[in-house]
Structure 1
């Protein structure tokens, strides 16, 4: 049985389940691999492309249900 953990709240000082049982272990490993394999210049280029894409997107309107 897997425990329900709110990582944002319970794991601010590290995973409360320990590194071996952390439900986000695969994500953490993938992020570490990305950081090791990607140059800082490439990361900056990716961030700039994402920023420009967001700037060119049309605004998103969120209307309340009770209107």
Structure 2
């Protein structure tokens, strides 16, 4: 049986499931991204996304009628 955990809480200091992690492909992709991308490029990407988000119109959420 596959063990279900909340990775955001349980794996704060590193993956606790190791090779049995259901998110292993994401972990590998993330490691590759961090290895190949400079910090300056990451900061540039973050600034670009923030600028884009700041220029988007607000998104209104209307409650459903009972």
**Same fold by TM-score greater than 0.5:** yes
Q: Structure 1 unaligned runs (5+)? A: none
Q: TM-score, normalised by structure 1?
A: 0.79
Let me know the Cα RMSD of the aligned residues. 1.9
Tell me which stretches of 4 or more aligned residues in structure 1 moved more than 6 Å: none
1:24 aligns with 2:28: no
Aligned pair count? 66
Q: Which residue of 2 aligns with 1:41?
A: 40
Deviation at 1:46, TM superposition (A): 0.4
1:50 maps to 2:57: no
Question: Cα deviation per residue 1:6-62 (whole Å; 9 max; x = unaligned)?
Answer: 323444454443x11001111011111100100111111100100000000000000
- Structure 2 residue runs of 5 or longer lacking an equivalent are none
2:33 partner SS: helix
